[in-house]
Structure formats: structure tokens, C-alpha cells
A and B are shown apart, each in its own frame.
Chain A
Amino acid sequence: MRRSTWTTKLITALSVIILLVIWQVGAVWLDAAVILPTPGTTLSALVSLVQQKPFSLNIITTIGRALRSFLLIFIVGSFFGILAGYSKRVHAFLVPFLVLFKATPVMSVILLAFIWFSSGTVPLFSAFLMGFPVMFIQVEQGVQLISPRLREMTVVYGFSPFRRLTHLVIPSMLPSIVTGAKASLSMVWKVVIAAEVLTVPRYGVGSRMQLAQVHLETAEVLAWTLIAVLLTAVGDMLFIAMLSLPKYIRRIRWRKRKVEPCN
């Protein structure tokens, strides 16, 4: 990760301010709230949204959908990724599926899914289909990162399959699993909201966005967009925090252990 000093932080802050100024100037110049409301109007729309009654329900429903599809992607993607990484046959079998999933436009998936399923299931299904290849490809590559030399060492020193899994396979693959999970998680948010916009389930950030758009409440559309951006950002942050948790725990344990004499 790049080091952030106070200068770089200042530059980032400056860039945010410039963005807001451009927005403000553009809105004043256009002078039409339907096309582009000012940042202030958007903010007050956001505040009134938060105060509305089913606000948390909309957010929670969307988060629930995103997390469920992410979990599904994580489990299924890892499972098939490992299988395909170890077996050329499984890989050959899964290639057409992957090409299909990767090449199909998100919108066709959503539209087709809407024909097949109820509106609540569509976001889940579409996000899974879009995120699965990302996770799968990373995990499959991760299997190739397992050193054959270290594997041989574990064979000679009589590691059981379980010990090999926990001490060789998983640690070797961890970087790829993390990359895949991160990439598919940020993709999941976008697809879930897009699917909600198109299928308008009862609750959901995307549904609200669509309704606001129909009523030409541009400030509200922008406010919901801000919420979506925040959700993605918070999701990423939580994910990173979760990753540093084991390191943190280890440091505490290690400090405790340091007190006891070695050997």
C-alpha cells in the first residue's frame, strides 16, 4: 500500500473540494434541479431519506442480498476453483461456463433472470453469475502457486492430508483468495443494485433509486447513489479490517508469550 503523508492527504482533500465546486457551479449554471441538483439539495434529500421510515429496511435488504450472493460466490467459487486447479478435466469442463458467464452482459442476465425468478431472487442470482468467474479464476490460479517442492517436503515428512491443507495449501492460496474475494465483493454491490433497479423488488436501494427516477426526483437518485457508494466503501473497509484481525490477535498473543522464558 502506498504511504499517505499529510501532503497526499491534503491533495486528496483538495480534489474532493474541486469535485464539489464543479458540481455546484454546474448545477447553478444549468439552473435545473431535474437535470442536476446542487450538492446542498442532494444532501438535504439524503437527510430526508434517512429520516423516512423504511430507510433502514431498504439498506438492510440490499446488504443482505449482497452478502448472501457474496457468501455463495466465496464458497462455490473456492470449491470449483480448487477442483479445477487440481484437475485438468474439471478445468476443461468448466471453461465454457466461464466464457459464457464472463461474456454475457450484466443486463441480459438480469432481464433473463427476471423472466425466470421473482424480483427478490434476481439480484442474488445475477450477482452470483457475475461474481463467480472472478472468484473462481483467482482461486484456480492460487492452486498453481502451491510450490511443488514444499509439497514434496510435506510428503517426505509424513503430513496428513489435513495438515497439508492447513499448513501448505491454504496459506499458499490465501493471497489469491483475498484478491478474488475483494474483487467479487465490489462487483456484487454494483450488480445487486442494478438488478434492483430493473426488477424493483419491494425493498432495496435500487428499487428506491428507480422510483425516484420515475418521479424525476433527481436529488433523491443522487442521494441513493451516495448511499450505494458509501455501502461499497464501508464493505471494502470492513473486509480489510477483517483481514488484519488475525495479525492483530497474533500480536497480542505473541506479546503475552514473550513474558514466559523461551524453552
Chain B
Amino acid sequence: MQLTTLSKTYQVTEAPLVVLDKFSYTVEPKEITALVGPSGCGKTTLLRLIGGLEKPDEGNITKVEAEEGPISYLFQEPRLLPWHTVLQNVELVLRPWFEHKSERVARAMEFLHMVDLHNYARFKPDQLSGGMRQRVAIARAFAYPARLMLLDEPFQSLDTSMRWSLVKAFLTLWEQDKRTTVYVTHDVPEALLMADTVIRLTSRPMQILETLRIDTPRHERSLGDPKFIAMQARFYT
């Protein structure tokens, strides 16, 4: 996916807020690209532009063929429909893609199984904990036949151990079906463990400081590894 000279300015009480100014980058298809930068630097805005939730003032986004079509979006919050059950929440997004209900339910259950929530299929979201709700959102994002996944700090609101188990759940699902993923975070270790490419960003207007390519297979990565310690150090200068 090619991002070409994207610009976005918000009009906030007289003073214009330049969030993106001619931002360009090429996202490798079928890889996880992590964007790491300070809060409010424009990462979320970039994701919203890619997801079509907002239009850029200038520039364009060109997708390769493998990325064309539906998009999955993992938000900071689960964003589940509170009046539907866990199963219905996942099944509902599959409606246009699978004709038969049995097919949709089977697929939804399959993905709920992968995030270990198959026993909670009949529960309503408010009967679940925050971590479980976010797992439902992950199941929904993967069950949806998207070619492109956008992650906006989906693990941010959780405690460390819960985060780690969700990251693992995410990677397990992702390894089975590699989709182009753009992952926005300000958690450096998480980015280093998950991504193929980690991009260090400046604050507003967002610019690329450095691009780190990580070729170590995910299961061999360790934060204690000298190579990873060195990489982490670059973010804290």
C-alpha cells in the first residue's frame, strides 16, 4: 500500500492543527507494520484515512490488489453492540459475505474458539470483562474477510499480562492468514515483538525518524536479546 503525500489539517478554534504534512510511506503487503510515536502525533489520523473514516486534504492512498476490499479495524475500545450476544456480534459482520446462517455461525464460533471464548458465545458484552470484550473484537476483526487490518492501540487499556495474551492470540490468528496490517501503538516492546517493520515517528506534524526492519522470526524474538535491547534503546533517546 502506497501512501503518497498525505496531508490533513483540523480547524480547532481558529488555529489550524496540522496533523499530517505530505506524509509518504510504502507499507509492505502481508506484513505487520508498526507505527510508534508520541501520543497525539497523528498515528490515529493516518489510520482513519487508510480506513476511509476520513478523507485526506491532499495526497492519496494506493492499495495493491491483495489489499483491495473489506477492512478490519480494531479500535482502542471493543465497540461491540451491547444488545447482541458475543456470537451475534461476530456473526453480524459476516452477513454480506456468507449466505447461510449456519455457515456464518460456524465461522464465528471457529474464531471465538481461537480467542478462547467459545463458552461465552451466548453472553452479552456487559457480562464480560474488558479483556474478554477486546478478544471478541479481535475474533470479529479476523472472522471478517478483510484484506487489510488496522489496529489502533487495541491492547492499550489492559494490564500487562492480559495484553501479552491478547498479542499472542492476535499473532496466532495472523500467522494462519497473513493480511497487511498497520498497527499503531506507543508501546515499544509490543511493536518489536509483533511487527516486521517498526517505524519511529516524530510528534505533530508526523514524520518518519527511522525505519527498523526485523527479520528474526516472531517465535525466536526476545526482549532480553541484546539486539532487541539495542533496538529498544533507540526509542528512549
Contact = CB atoms under 8 A, between A and B. Distances in A.
Contacts, number: 47
Contacts of A150: 79, 81
Interface in B23-46: none
B102 to A, nearest CB: 10
A149 B80 CA distance: 10
A251 interface: no
A160 B77 CA distance: 23
B144 A262 contact: no
Interface residues of A, number: 17
A6 interface: no
A153 B95 contact: no
Which secondary structure dominates where chain A touches chain B? helix
Interface string A164-180: 00011001000000000
Interface in B113-143: 113, 118, 121-122, 140
Nearest to A168: B81
Give the size range of B's interface with the partner.
20 to 34
A72 to B, nearest CB: 28
B81 A167 contact: yes
A263 B106 contact: yes
Nearest to A262: B121
A263 B119 CA distance: 10
Interface in B72-126: 72-73, 75, 77, 79, 81, 83-84, 92-93, 95-96, 105-106, 109, 113, 118, 121-122
Contacts of B93: 157-159
Nearest to A155: B53
A152 B53 contact: yes
B67 to A, nearest CB: 15
Contacts of A160: 96
A256 B67 CA distance: 42
A149 B77 contact: yes
A255 to B, nearest CB: 12
Contacts of A262: 109, 118, 121
Contact of A263 (B79, B92, B96, B109): B109
B109 A149 contact: no
A149 B79 contact: yes
A163 interface: yes
A1 interface: no
Interface string A138-163: 00000000000110110111111001
A246 to B, nearest CB: 11
B59 interface: no
Interface in B42-78: 51-53, 70-73, 75, 77
Interface string A241-263: 00000000000001000000011
Contacts of B84: 167
A157 B106 contact: no
Contact of A171 (B83, B105, B140): B83
Contact of B79 (A153, A158, A163, A254): A153
A160 B83 CA distance: 19
B152 to A, nearest CB: 11
A236 to B, nearest CB: 25
A156 B81 contact: no
Nearest to A160: B96
8 contacts: A152-B75, A156-B53, A156-B72, A157-B140, A158-B70, A171-B81, A254-B122, A263-B113
Interface of A: 149-150, 152-153, 155-160, 163, 167-168, 171, 254, 262-263
Q: Which 6 A-B pairs have the closest CB atoms?
A: A153-B79, A263-B109, A156-B73, A157-B93, A171-B83, A149-B79
Given A152-B79, A171-B81, 16 more contacts: A149-B77, A149-B79, A152-B75, A153-B73, A153-B75, A156-B53, A156-B72, A157-B73, A157-B140, A159-B93, A160-B96, A167-B81, A262-B109, A263-B106, A263-B113, A263-B118
